[in-house]
Chains A and B, each alone.
Chain A
């Protein structure tokens, strides 16, 4: 069985600062994909970034980047220059057929 663990139920950061959200996972698969999804108060699930496990290079999308450590089974999300619109629940997810999600981290942006 696959598991995804997010150990930070809540994180707070000042606007314009940088924050890192942690995620660890476990899988017996050798090839898999990892995702970060954002869920604002509207509760829509929005893809933030994805990483293919076979790629060593960390994925980046504008202000969002990941630190993927395959041996440690760690997949953290870094948000640079935090903006008020970044406030949301952030879910780490691991692919199989269906996605396995972590419990989420509630990110608060302090103005």
Chain B
């Protein structure tokens, strides 16, 4: 069964450094998403991406964050100048069609630890 994959599974970085989290969505999916889950809290929407551009973003997704689809398979989340409060699980998801009408399938997540 096709699945969303994410690398690395765990990333440790120093405060102020830049990190890139990588995702490979399901191959025939057209919509891609990033979510964040701070430990013990609910999952929060960050951004959605379609046709090589951001379709929607939350207030969490400020100038510190950017997303990119550098090739036909990868979807990345870049966090510039990381802060302690960026420590969280980051989930990538993808859906075949428009989010409101289709199921989003989640990757296993990347645990980001900022020291």
Which A residues are closer than 8 A to B by beta carbons?
A: 29, 31-33, 35, 37, 42-47, 50, 91, 93, 95-104
Contact = CB atoms under 8 A, between A and B. Distances in A.
Interface centre among A44, A50, A91, A98 (most CB of B within 10 A): A98
B45 A91 contact: no
A101 B106 contact: no
Contact of B103 (A35, A44, A91): A35
Contacts of B101: 33, 95
B109 A98 contact: no
Interface in B68-115: 89, 91, 93, 99-101, 103-109, 111
Contacts of A102: 42
Contact of A98 (B37, B41, B56, B111): B56
Interface SS of chain B: strand
A35 B47 CA distance: 19
22 contacts: A29-B100, A44-B106, A44-B107, A44-B108, A45-B91, A91-B42, A91-B43, A96-B56, A97-B48, A97-B56, A97-B100, A98-B35, A98-B45, A98-B46, A98-B47, A98-B56, A98-B58, A99-B99, A101-B43, A101-B44, A101-B45, A103-B41
Interface residues of B, number: 28
A37 B45 CA distance: 15
Contacts of A31: 100
Contacts of B44: 101
Nearest to B109: A43
Contacts of B48: 97-98
A99 B104 contact: yes
A50 to B, nearest CB: 6
Given A44-B107, A45-B91, A101-B45, 15 more contacts: A33-B100, A33-B101, A37-B106, A43-B109, A44-B106, A47-B105, A91-B42, A97-B48, A97-B99, A98-B58, A99-B43, A99-B45, A99-B99, A100-B45, A101-B43
